[in-house]
Amino acid sequence: MGDQSSGERPTLRAFYPGSFDPFHLGHLDVVEQAIELFGSVTVGVLYNFAKDSGMFGVDERVELIRSSTSHLQRVEVEKHTGLAVQAAQVAGADFIVKGLRSAADFDIEQQMAQMNHSVAGIRSVYLPTEPSLGFVSSRFVREIAKYGGDVAHLVPEVVADALGARFGAGAETDPLT
Ligand code: PNS
């Protein structure tokens, strides 16, 4: 379990797995909540060697999350392949955290949480997303950025810059031509 040597409230380590392609403000809110509630968090960028066809490469995602959380203490960012429960064990985590935006998220997360507990005995904790960010998803951020839409209010500044470098100077694809 976490460090209890200080005599104060024990610090627990949460493991926050995801694709984070890209990391957005809803993700950042979950990280901030996890630190506030539990003390420390490891963000795990999960990827699949066989089919990593993401927008940003895994190392770039890790760097963007590190930059996006540099104002926070007790945040680690790591990349992992394989199962989330294996990555959580490597990180020395006490439990997994996930953000919940909606009932649809709950249905997916509940099944994963029960499966993860069944195979590895690790518990999951759901954190409700800040309501003003409840509509934000990496998938739609990617889609809007790709066609030149403005997502600067939905992602950390470094992510907005990286998206601008990738898709700036107009859209990569003009759907009207
Ligand atoms: O950001 P995402 O895409 O919603 O994250 C999904 C993720 C990476 C957390 C999930 O797909 C996952 O845990 N993948 C690792 C493989 C694994 O553990 N599978 C068993 C799930 S019960």
- pLDDT, tens only, 111-164: 999 999 999 999 999 999 999 999 999 999 999 999 999 999 999 999 999 999
Q: Which atom of ligand 1 is nearest to the CA of 111?
A: 22
Q: Which atom of ligand 1 is nearest to the CA of 119?
A: 22
String of DSSP letters for 91-154:
TT-SEEEEEE-SHHHHHHHHHHHHHHHHHH---EEEEEPPGGGTT--HHHHHHHHHTT---TTT
CA nearest ligand 1 atom 9, residue: 18
Is 112's C-beta closer than 6 angstroms to any atom of ligand 1?
yes
Confidence of residue 171 (pLDDT cuts 50, 70, 90): very low
Active site annotation includes 79 = no
Is 83's C-beta closer than 6 angstroms to any atom of ligand 1?
yes
Looking at domain 12-167, what is its CATH homologous superfamily?
HUPs (3.40.50.620)
**pTM for the complete prediction?**
0.91
Long-range contact set of residues 149-156: C-beta below 8 Å, sequence gap at least 24: 154/24, 154/25, 155/22, 155/23, 155/24, 155/25, 156/23, 156/24, 156/25, 156/28, 156/64, 156/67, 156/68
Active site annotation includes 132 = no
For the ranges 27-36, 51-60, 107-116, 122-131, which has the lowest average pLDDT? 51-60
Give the list of residues 6+ apart from residue 37 with CB closer than 8 angstroms, or none.
Answer: 127
Show me where the domains of the chain are located.
12-167
CA 34 – ligand 1 centroid, Å:
18
> Is the pLDDT assigned to residue 177 strictly greater than 60?
no
CA 110 – ligand 1 centroid, Å:
12
Is 100's C-beta closer than 6 angstroms to any atom of ligand 1?
no
Active site annotation includes 101 = yes
CA 109 – ligand 1 centroid, Å:
9
